[in-house]
Amino acid sequence: MKAVRPSLVAHSVLLTIALVTITALAVGLVVFEEVGSQVQQRIDRRLADGATLFQASLEDSRNELETVGALLAGDQQLVEAIPGHRLDDLRERLNLTLGLRAIDDVLVADSQGTVLADARVTQVGNHTPPLASGVAGNIGFGRALAGQVVYGISRQEPDVLWQEVYLPVRDRSSGSIVGVIRLASFLDRRRLGQFRERTGLDVSLFSGSRRVVTTLVGPASALPADPDTFQRVVGQGQPVTAWRDLPTGRVRAYYAPLTGPDGTRVGMVSIAIPVQSVSAAWQRAVLPLAPVVLSIILAGAALGYVLARRVREPVLTLVGAARRLQDGDLSTPIPVIEEVELRVLAEELEMARCSVHERIETIAREETRQRALIDALSEPVLIATTDHIVVGANSAAIQLFGTRGSLSGQRIESILPFVQLAGDPREPQCWQGVLARNGRANDVQVCRTRLAAGSLPECDVFVIHDVSQFAALNRMREQLLYDVAHELRSPLAVLTGALELLATGYAEMSTREIDRLIASATRTAARLHRLMEDLLSAGSIQSGRFVVQPRPVALASVVDEAVHSVEDIVQQRRQTMTQLLPAAELVVMADRRYIGQVLTNLLTNASKYSPDGETIVISATCDGCVVTIAVDDHGPGIPAEQQAGLFERYYRVRAPHEKRGIGLGLAIARGIVEAHGGSIGVDSKAGAGTRVWFTLRLAPGQGEEADENPSG
């Protein structure tokens, strides 16, 4: 034993030092790599965000150009001035355009490409660019003549890039294209400087491989693009992120292509960030590792020397116990060690054995509980290996796709064909698509999460959410915006036409013609007013701010006002309205303005869905202290399956020849009637007409004179 101990001590110390050193170096290397990876990820995320912000600024500028261009193209006087070459009128409107929006250049050319008028900001950079004389050979002009709205970025001067939009100008009467409007916004150092102030990122614009505009200063501002980067970005259209060494220091840069009006790539944009501060932070994170590693090595050597002198026999005992633990024997206790120094270790191992044994049992119970929880989820859940093979499913997934045996072993792509398994699998991913099962197609969202639990194999969990309701709401919102725009377009066109006729032919028109135009404009304005009232009422009802002020009011007068408000609509379709009211005057508690709006909406709907020449009946019956007012039509009726959502916002009856509208009338009517404490309903059968009714309470003291004044 005496001959063995020195060798054991020496070998133990050396082995401890070697193991601790290797461990410390490995930990340091891992930390080094992780810090470097995090630094680069932070830089790339910031560059990507900067590129997104810069692209958003370009899109905002493009939207402004297209908006102003659409206004100019719809200006009737400008349209008429192009064929007549009324240059003063054209210049006046173009100069006004420069003052309204962030437009730096605007010109109008006729169909032959001759520039009739051009307006531009005074100066770009340090010089004044020349005005254009013609655009006949320009690809944007040619496409605009073909009826397209063309957008792109082009280089006009050695140091000038701009965004430009070409829009066709159509003659309103013939529909032919009489000219083209081009609007442009300069991409100069001032604009790039504003972007740098907001984001702290340097941005450069390249025309060809030459750096045209940049926020970089000094020698770096004149550096050309890297040939390989230029070829990949402009030649192949690929965004590139790369390190670049500049005279001012190393930067991380993101390059993306710039596209011209003809669709070709005319240059590229670079978003860059210096890495000095990030490198300093990286060094501060790494340098403290050196003393830590050294301390670990020294502590390990000292500990190895102390332990090696006392642990040979007890260590062998503990090694045997450790082997049993390694073999999975958690039921055999760790032997008691007499040596004081190792007794604690033995006790800790025993505690660890008990703890691991208990933890394994806990994990088993937890796994069982988690499986039960997943199985109890109402959302379908699929569990797959990292190779995308299904190995498990909960009850909802089995109910959706079939038996557990039919799912097990299949690939996720065959079950969910719209799922594209690409990118970093450790990053949560979601896909949306349509899932057809049992003769029904549902909009679904599938989310994947990779789970890694210690020594257990990694697996992917796919949760399937039914988003059909949200997809339907989104489609409903888009349809609402379209319908509101359609509802506004016709009356606005009527108003515009009436005003233009009055403005241009007032002196030559008779009093009767003027009165007819004014009456038409008044009816159209009333239609717009009703539409706005519907939208405002719907919003206030939805938000809970809607309040009525019921007062005693004569029902007959409210009905008369509603009938009068829809007379024009009814007369256009040769329809008639009949009132069946009790002989005795009924005085109800109502807010005159809003109850009138209810009746107007019901009468408008009745006229819309009744055939030409039919009769619409307005009736009222009294039952105790409750009055029921009804509107009957002889339209096609409403199928029973469509009546459930009739009083919901934006709901419209789907008929073979569906009438246009925004679906707010009955929803507003319900909100108003319920605010009065009444109820509203519908009685209808397909092919038998429709009756819509609502109730109001009689005013106390029917003998008193009703208030004939509107409530608001």
Q: Which of 283-287, 404-408, 667-671 has the highest mean pLDDT?
A: 667-671
Nearest one of 459, 409, 472, 467 to 433, comparing CA atoms? 467
Claim to verify: residue 566 and residue 676 sit in the same structural domain:
yes
Q: Could you tell me if residue 457 is inside a domain?
A: yes
pLDDT at 557: 92
Is the pLDDT at 696 greater than 90, yes or no? Answer: yes
- Contact of 438 with 456, CB cutoff 8 Å: no
Q: For residues 239-268, give the mean pLDDT.
A: 82
Claim to verify: residue 452 and residue 485 sit in the same structural domain:
no
Q: Give percent of the chain above pLDDT 70.
A: 73
Claim to verify: residue 522 and residue 584 sit in the same structural domain:
no
Q: Could you tell me if residue 408 is inside a domain?
A: yes
Q: What angle do CA 151, 154, 157 make, to 5 degrees?
A: 150
User: Using one digit for the tens of pLDDT, what is the confidence trace for 570-609?
Assistant: 888 899 999 998 878 899 999 888 888 889 889 988 888 8
Name 146's Cβ contacts closer than 8 Å, sequence gap at least 6.
168
The residue with greater pLDDT, 197 or 18, is 197
Two tokens at 9?
Answer: 């001590």
Is the pLDDT at 1 greater than 50, yes or no? Answer: no
User: Using one digit for the tens of pLDDT, what is the confidence trace for 374-420?
Assistant: 666 667 888 888 888 888 787 777 777 776 667 778 888 878 888 88
Place of tokens 């702290």: 200
pLDDT at 341: 61
pLDDT at 705: 43
Which of 215-224, 528-537, 667-676 is predicted least confidently?
Answer: 528-537
- Contact of 52 with 254, CB cutoff 8 Å: no
Is the pLDDT at 520 greater than 80, yes or no? Answer: no
- Contact of 578 with 630, CB cutoff 8 Å: no
Q: Could you tell me if residue 383 is inside a domain?
A: yes
Place of tokens 């916004």: 185
Q: Could you tell me if residue 628 is inside a domain?
A: yes
d(CA 339, CA 314): 8
Angle between helices 4-73 and 87-100 (to 10 degrees): 150
User: In angstroms, how far apart are the furthest CA atoms of the chain?
Assistant: 132
Length of the chain: 712
Q: What is the CATH number of the domain that holds 418?
A: 3.30.450.20
Task: Label residue 11 by pLDDT band (50, 70, 90).
Answer: low
pLDDT at 621: 92
- Contact of 498 with 514, CB cutoff 8 Å: no
Is the pLDDT at 43 greater than 50, yes or no? Answer: yes
Q: For residues 233-249, give the mean pLDDT.
A: 84
Q: Could you tell me if residue 682 is inside a domain?
A: yes
Question: Which of these three, 539, 565, 581, is where a domain ends?
Answer: 539
Two tokens at 655?
Answer: 């008929």
Claim to verify: residue 410 and residue 351 sit in the same structural domain:
no
pLDDT at 6: 46
Name 215's Cβ contacts closer than 8 Å, sequence gap at least 6.
189, 192, 193, 195, 196, 202, 203, 204
d(CA 46, CA 62): 24
Two tokens at 492?
Answer: 């606005």
Claim to verify: residue 579 and residue 674 sit in the same structural domain:
yes
> Cβ of 614: how many Cβ atoms within 10 Å?
18
- Contact of 180 with 169, CB cutoff 8 Å: yes
The residue with greater pLDDT, 694 or 468, is 694
Using CA atoms in the order 184, 186, 191, 192, what is the torsion angle rounded to 10 degrees? 120
Task: Label residue 354 by pLDDT band (50, 70, 90).
Answer: confident
d(CA 151, CA 164): 6
User: Using one digit for the tens of pLDDT, what is the confidence trace for 167-203?
Assistant: 999 988 888 998 999 988 888 778 788 888 888 888 8
Is the pLDDT at 677 greater than 80, yes or no? Answer: yes
Claim to verify: residue 452 and residue 408 sit in the same structural domain:
yes
Two tokens at 30?
Answer: 């891992």
Is the pLDDT at 94 greater than 60, yes or no? Answer: yes
Claim to verify: residue 389 and residue 364 sit in the same structural domain:
no
Quickly list H helices, 377-510: 395-401, 404-407, 412-415, 468-505
Q: What is the DSSP letter of 224?
A: P
Q: Could you tell me if residue 693 is inside a domain?
A: yes
Claim to verify: residue 478 and residue 600 sit in the same structural domain:
no
Q: What is the CATH number of the domain that holds 535?
A: 1.10.287
Which of 365-369, 567-571, 689-693 is predicted least confidently?
Answer: 365-369
Q: Which amino acid type is present at position 603?
A: L
Mean pLDDT, the chain, as a whole number? 76
- Is beta strand 150-157 parallel, antiparallel or unpaired with respect to 160-170? antiparallel
Question: Which of these three, 512, 539, 566, is where a domain ends?
Answer: 539
pLDDT at 311: 57
Q: Could you tell me if residue 270 is inside a domain?
A: no
pLDDT at 703: 42
Place of tokens 């949306």: 432
Two tokens at 516?
Answer: 């007819």
Q: Which amino acid type is present at position 1?
A: M
* Stretch (H or E) spanning 45: helix 4-73
d(CA 391, CA 38): 34
| Distances, alpha carbon 603 to alpha carbons 359, 586, 591, 593, 658, in Å | 73, 20, 18, 15, 17
Name 501's Cβ contacts closer than 8 Å, sequence gap at least 6.
509, 517
| Distances, alpha carbon 358 to alpha carbons 354, 366, 453, in Å | 6, 12, 17
> Cβ of 289: how many Cβ atoms within 10 Å?
17
User: Using one digit for the tens of pLDDT, what is the confidence trace for 421-441?
Assistant: 777 777 788 888 887 776 677
Q: What angle do CA 310, 314, 319 make, to 5 degrees?
A: 125
Claim to verify: residue 512 and residue 562 sit in the same structural domain:
no
Domain range for residue 360?
313-368
Model pTM greater than 0.75? no
Claim to verify: residue 382 and residue 455 sit in the same structural domain:
yes
Question: Which of these three, 400, 427, 461, is where a domain ends?
Answer: 461
Is the pLDDT at 656 greater than 50, yes or no? Answer: no
User: Using one digit for the tens of pLDDT, what is the confidence trace for 69-92?
Assistant: 888 888 888 888 888 888 888 888
pLDDT at 434: 80
Is the pLDDT at 651 greater than 60, yes or no? Answer: no
In total, how many domains does the chain have? 4
Claim to verify: residue 690 and residue 556 sit in the same structural domain:
yes
Claim to verify: residue 580 and residue 679 sit in the same structural domain:
yes
Q: Could you tell me if residue 168 is inside a domain?
A: no
Q: What angle do CA 181, 183, 184 make, to 5 degrees?
A: 155
Nearest one of 198, 169, 195 to 182, comparing CA atoms? 169
